[in-house]
Chains A and B, each alone.
Chain A
């Protein structure tokens, strides 16, 4: 099955820093989703993107649907301790009932 390439795999940052991560695919998606997984929990949807070029914010989080429809980006500004967790991108192709998930980016905040 297809998987999305997500990078970086892990990030170690200091509180207050900005964070950027991205996902790329070899095929086109019609929908991009970004999830966050807290330790010991299931993933929770952060942002959904439905149009190429779309830029959507959710508080300090901003995500973009790449123009080529083969990539997406997530930025977190002014990180805080509760941002710690694993971030997953996911894509949905037209006519497909299955979400394809990225491999995840583990975010750690150094005190």
Chain B
């Protein structure tokens, strides 16, 4: 089954404790992206990747890191989480980035930073 998987689905952590949210897709997609969803703000892009070893900042990259060492994986790293990073995070992938290629979204990771 074609899908985007994220782990963990729920995470409670404390300020400053490094964490990684994994994202994996099995569709051989080149384009992958991370979003955060906050009430009243919709989905805002954090980082995106056009292909292996190619990553770029989205609209809200501060406090986040990503890597794209393999095509299928695109982990999101919070080196020193802060409470304002409490949010619902979505990973997405698509065949390409242009012309509105259909983006497939993962199920989401709900993060609470205390």
Is this pair of chains taken from one and the same complex? yes
* Among A13-21, A56-64, A77-85, A97-105, the stretch in contact with B: A97-105
Distance, CA A40 to CA B102, complexed state (A): 20
The residue among A9, A32, A40 with the most chain B CB atoms within 10 A of its own CB is: A40
Collect the chain B residues with CB atoms within 8 Å of residue A88's CB.
42-43
Residue of A nearest to B49 (CB): A97
Question: Do residues B103 and A1 form an inter-chain contact, with CB atoms below 8 A?
Answer: no
A: contact size bracket: 20 to 34
Distance, CA A31 to CA B97, complexed state (A): 12
Question: Do residues B99 and A50 form an inter-chain contact, with CB atoms below 8 A?
Answer: yes
Q: A98: which of B41, B45, B90, B108 is its contact (CB, 8 Å)?
A: B45
Total interface residues in chain B, CB < 8 Å: 28
- For chains A and B in complex, what number of residue pairs have CB atoms within 8 angstroms? 71
Question: Do residues A43 and B42 form an inter-chain contact, with CB atoms below 8 A?
Answer: no
Q: Which of A26-45 contact B (CB under 8 A)?
A: 30-33, 40-45
Q: Mark B40-52, 1 if CB is under 8 A from A, else 0.
A: 1111110010100
Distance, CA A18 to CA B60, complexed state (A): 36
Question: Do residues A44 and B105 form an inter-chain contact, with CB atoms below 8 A?
Answer: yes
Distance, CA A40 to CA B50, complexed state (A): 27
Distance, CA A98 to CA B97, complexed state (A): 7
Given contacts A98-B45, A101-B42, contact A41 B102 (CB under 8 A): no
Q: 12 A-B pairs, CB-CB below 8 angstroms?
A: A1-B60, A3-B42, A6-B42, A9-B40, A30-B99, A31-B100, A42-B107, A48-B100, A48-B102, A97-B31, A98-B48, A102-B42
Q: Which A positions have Cβ atoms within 8 angstroms of B?
A: 1-4, 6, 9, 30-33, 40-45, 48, 50, 88, 90, 92, 97-104
